[in-house]
Every structure is written in C-alpha cells, then in structure tokens.
Structure 1
Amino acid sequence: MYYLSAFFYYFLLIPISRLPFGVLYAIADGLSWLFFNVVGYRKQVVVENIRNSFPEKSEAEIQQIARDFYTHLCTLIIETVKAFSMTRAEFMQRVSFTGLDLLDHYAKQGKSIIIAAGHCHNYEWLVTGIDPLVKHKVMALYRPLNNRFFDEKIKQSRSKLGLNLASIYEIKSQFGEQVVEKPVAAAFAMDQSPSNPESAYWMQFLNQDTPILFGTEKYAKEYDLPVVFGHIHAQKRGYYYANFELLTDTPRETAYGEITEKMMKWLEADIRQEPATWLWSHKRWKHKRTTVQSPLSEG
C-alpha cells in the first residue's frame, strides 16, 4: 500500500499539481460535468440536502445549485492537489484577509483566540495561508487519514507556511498546553457532523433539526477565549478571502448555546448568499434527535 500510494503521489499528483492554473481549471470543469451527468457522485445526497435546506426554491433552482456545487467541488479537489507544489508567494497572491487588526488586538495582549469557520469556498488554502500574516501561532484541528503516507503528505502541504496541525484525537492535551504557553489562534471547523449526536448541541440550521459540534463553545468558555468568526468568500475563481468578525470576547458571560447559535446563524447567512460553495456532498443530516436537550449539558 505504501509503495502504491508513493507511486500515485510522485508520478500522478505532483505532475498534475505543477500544471498551470488554467489547465487545472479546465480539468476541474471536465470532472464537474462527469460527476454530475455520468458518475452521479453522491448526487442524491447533494440534491436532497439542497432541497431540504431551501424549500422555497424551485426544482430548477435546486438543480442549478447542485450543478454549480459540482463545479465548486471539483475546483476544490484540483486546488487541493495544486497546493502540494504551491509556493509561499503563490499562496500570498491567492488568499487574503480583512479584520486582521482584530486578531492583532488580542495577540498584543498575549491572549489566545478561537477562529470559527465553515467549509465554504477553499477553506484549506485560507487556513494554510494565514499563519505568516498574523501575530498568533495558528493551530488547526484535523482528522488523521487512515493512509499514513497521504496523511503525512497532506500534513506537510497544510503546514508548509507554519500552520500547526493538531489531531482531533489529541485535542484535550494539545489545546490546553498550547493556548496557555503562547498566543494561539485555534481554528475550529464547526459545521461537521458530530460522531456522537447525543453529545451535540441541537438547533435549527438551514430549515432542519441539526446536531452541532459543541467544541467551539466548550473550549471558549473553559479557557475564557474570544471567539472570532471567519466569513469566507471568493473574489473570483482561485482567489479567496476571509473577513474576521468578533463573535464574543466574554464567552463565560454568554448563556448555554448562545455562541453556538450565533456562529451557525452567521454561517447560514453566508451559505444563503452563495449556496453552491458549501460542502453539500456530506451526509450532514444523517442523525435524528432522540433525546431532549438539557440546558446543563456541556455537549
């Protein structure tokens, strides 16, 4: 398995990653047509998710969002491959941020923060490219791949500009150590489906009863960390920016669920603005609520 993975990486992915962007986007468009019209990759999941999220839209609108989503998905795949060989200069040309003064304000105080964001546009490039631009040390959580070879290569690609990756399985030990030692900006992707819905926070999100990972609010309150939300957008294809907005800098004064509700409503507003650029191919609503949510639960 190791040698097969190495062959695939060095003799296919790396040569593809060195192709010009114009050629790569032509490949992405071809893959998009193939995925939508021929392969039908998770098409039923995608269309059902969109239809349930936007009951006010016509079937024609739903199909168009789905079609545009596959263009986004294939662009994301191609850009992930491109990242293997992208230089620092290329990243700095293609990712930008507004609201960095907000982050700098807390860094000057020696205070760690949490950055909450969703899987919109190319979130991978943004989290990879932010570390050189901020005074905090940026840490992002990731789920290790079963394939050890590709797990290492993905980690190398994401951390090439200084990003520190922490496994979700080691978060309790790594998070506490890092936020106490030095100013850290911990990036949380809060829109993934929780593995244990019983410990999730349940709320209405995109017109559906949805379990939400509670880690952002839990760690913000436990360590008294300001929460900054990243609104992710695109200037044009291949050029992305995030706008940082303060969600709260007094997390311990908020009511249970207040942080979670607010950040998910902000994310929903961004998704409604550009619906095709969120990850609709995930089975986000595979869990159903079976218990009454307790106001004393920590998630």
Structure 2
Amino acid sequence: MGYYLMKLLSWLACRFSMKHCNRLGTFLGRLSWAVVPNKRKKMAVDNIIRCLAVDEPEARRIARASWVQFGPMLMEVLRYPELIKDGYIREYVTIEGLEYLQEAIKKKQGGIIATSHSDSWELMGAALAQYGVPLVGVARKQKDGAMDRFINEYRSLVGMHITYTSGVREMFRMIQEGWMIGLITDQDPSLRDGIILDFFNRKTNCFTGPATLARFQNAPIFHGQIMHRPDGGHHIKIYPPIYVEKTDNKKADIEQATQKVMDLLESHIREYPEDWFWLHDRWKSVRSIGLD
C-alpha cells in the first residue's frame, strides 16, 4: 500500500510546477520541525556552536534550515518523471567541474564520487546520471520495503544503477568497467570501520570507504557537493581528482586521502552551513570512547 501511495503522491506532484512543489515542501518542512525531538535539536545546536563559533540564535536558525530542506528534496524526488522530460533537469541543476568526470569516462576509468547529506543529495545523483555520468548509487536498504522499492525505482528511472552497501564485489567490478561509485561520506561509521581524523578541529570518526575502494582499484576520488542557487535551482561542484598513494603503509595512505576529503567537506559546510544535515549525531562514536 505504501508504494502505491508514494506513486499517487508522485503523480500529484507532477501536476504542479517545481516552484509550487518547492513552496509546499518548504511548508511541510517547517511544519514537521515541531515534532523533531528537543534532544536532537539541542545536539544539533550545540554542534553548530562548537563547529562554527556562532551564537545560539544563529545556531538554531541553521539547525532549523537544515531540517526544512527535507521537504523540497522530497518534492524533487516525487517529480523525477517530470524533471527528466526534455532535459529540464539540466536547467534546474547546473554542474561545475563536470570535465573532471568526463575525462575519466573517456579513459574508461572508473572512480568514486564522495559527497554528503547536504542540500538535495538525492537530486545530485539524478542530475549526474542525466548529464551522462555512469553512476552507481550505493544505498542502504530501507526497513520499509514499500519505500525501498519506490526510492530505488525512481533512482533507476533517472539513470542510476543501484546497489546496496553490502555489494562491495559489485562495486569493484563496476569501477573496473568504468562506472562512478557514489558514496555519502559524512555520517558516523562504527569504530571498527572508521578512522579517527580531524574535522572542525575535533577528533572525528571518519568513513574510509572512498579511499579504500580507490586505493584497491587505483581509481580517483572526486569530491562533489550540491548547493542551492538563488533562483531556486541547484548547482553541483565537482573537485579535481584525489589519488590515493599506494605505499607499504596502507593505513597511512587511506588516512591521508580520507583527511583530504574531510577537509573539502568541512570547507563546503563552512560556506553553506544551512545545507548540511546537522541533526545527525556525527560525534556519537568518539564520544562513546571519551574523545569528544
């Protein structure tokens, strides 16, 4: 039933303009802010104050804005069938640095696109695929089977190939075939799977997936972010490739490349603080071992 409800909502969203849907999404985002647990809000505000050195009212504004953007992002996903018509998505989303990906594609060289939960990250994957990037979206399997079916169907609709986080062998194979693997790199992994680095001058447990994949496959990492445009659309920035060294010290190689990715992410967040999802408990694992 949930799947067909989402399809109905998508059909309705496609009957209206993107402008009207974004207004509705913003309204829903603001409305739903009231039900976010106060504990989660306080955690986000405290982290914003600590990371950005702003006062509490500004931190509250940033935290609220980072939540509200979920509404428009949902509307954009629901409107995928319309966004891909007549190349409209290329007007709605512009890309800077696409040539870095195109150069690798011409060489039939696969790679990793490292991004974050910032602005409309779902739309970023859709836009890259519509611009001709052979993209593999790495997804976590949703607990709700209906939602999992819907979101992966719509990701495929816009041209992405979807694999789950457990499909590591498939990722290796597809890099060799020239695909770009899209990985979200900003959440708190388990201490077993992460590495402690500096992020906002704090000890932070960081996801090593991009650097590990890149080192094993001799593939480049492309850091990429999506951000809002003043006219209501979005802009993607792809950074020059990062290559992982392959010395006798595997851990140091991965640490060095991962720190470069985290430095780029920190710089982006400082410039666009409202876009990043601050309500994720980013420092939970290091707090559990007394490092934060």
* Structure 2, gaps ≥5 residues long: none
Deviation at 1:158, TM superposition (A): 1.1
Deviation at 1:231, TM superposition (A): 3.2
Which range moved further: 198-207 or 155-164?
198-207
2:182 alignment partner in structure 1: 187
Amino acid at match of 2:213: Y
Deviation at 1:17, TM superposition (A): 4.5
8 Å contact 1:247–1:259 — kept in the other structure? no
8 Å contact 2:224–2:236 — kept in the other structure? yes
* Structure 1, gaps ≥5 residues long: 294-299
Q: Structure 1 residues 189, 251: CA separation in 2 closer, same or farther (over 3 Å shift)?
A: farther
Amino acid at match of 2:137: A
1:26 alignment partner in structure 2: 23
Cα deviation per residue 1:222-279 (whole Å; 9 max; x = unaligned)? Answer: 1111111113222236411212112423542573401111111110111111111111
8 Å contact 2:220–2:243 — kept in the other structure? yes
1:206 alignment partner in structure 2: 200
Which range moved further: 150-159 or 238-247?
238-247
- Report the 3-state secondary structure (helix = DSSP H, G, I; strand = E; otherwise coil) of the residue aligned with 2:229: strand
2:263 alignment partner in structure 1: 265
**Which runs of structure 2 are paired with 1:15-164 in the superposition (5 Å)?**
15-36=12-33, 38-39=34-35, 41-55=36-50, 56-83=53-80, 85-88=82-85, 89-134=87-132, 136-164=133-161
Amino acid at match of 1:114: I
TM-score, structure 2 length as denominator?
0.87
Amino acid at match of 2:175: V
Is 1:222 paired with 2:219? no
Q: Structure 1 residues 258, 71: CA separation in 2 closer, same or farther (over 3 Å shift)?
A: same
Q: Distance in 2 between matches of 1:238 and 1:186?
A: 28
8 Å contact 2:63–2:279 — kept in the other structure? no
Q: Distance in 1 between matches of 2:60 and 2:108?
A: 49
1:297 alignment partner in structure 2: none
Q: Distance in 1 between matches of 2:54 and 2:117?
A: 22
Q: Distance in 2 between matches of 1:5 and 1:27?
A: 21
Q: Distance in 2 between matches of 1:121 and 1:269?
A: 15
Q: Structure 1 residues 161, 27: CA separation in 2 closer, same or farther (over 3 Å shift)?
A: closer
Q: Distance in 1 between matches of 2:103 and 2:12?
A: 42
- Report the 3-state secondary structure (helix = DSSP H, G, I; strand = E; otherwise coil) of the residue aligned with 1:198: coil
2:166 alignment partner in structure 1: 169
Q: Distance in 2 between matches of 1:6 and 1:243?
A: 33
Is 1:279 paired with 2:277? yes
Cα deviation per residue 1:53-111 (whole Å; 9 max; x = unaligned)? Answer: 43321111112212322332322233233336533423222122121221222222221
Is 1:231 paired with 2:190? no
TM-score, structure 1 length as denominator?
0.85
8 Å contact 1:198–1:291 — kept in the other structure? no
Identical columns (%) = 19
Q: Distance in 2 between matches of 1:292 and 1:107?
A: 44
Q: Distance in 2 between matches of 1:291 and 1:265?
A: 23
Deviation at 1:144, TM superposition (A): 1.5
8 Å contact 1:197–1:287 — kept in the other structure? yes
8 Å contact 1:66–1:276 — kept in the other structure? yes
Q: Structure 1 residues 7, 49: CA separation in 2 closer, same or farther (over 3 Å shift)?
A: same
Q: Distance in 1 between matches of 2:272 and 2:242?
A: 25
Q: Structure 1 residues 159, 237: CA separation in 2 closer, same or farther (over 3 Å shift)?
A: farther
Amino acid at match of 2:74: I
8 Å contact 1:16–1:81 — kept in the other structure? yes
- Report the 3-state secondary structure (helix = DSSP H, G, I; strand = E; otherwise coil) of the residue aligned with 2:192: helix
Which range moved further: 117-126 or 9-18?
9-18
8 Å contact 1:53–1:208 — kept in the other structure? no
Q: Distance in 1 between matches of 2:274 and 2:157?
A: 29
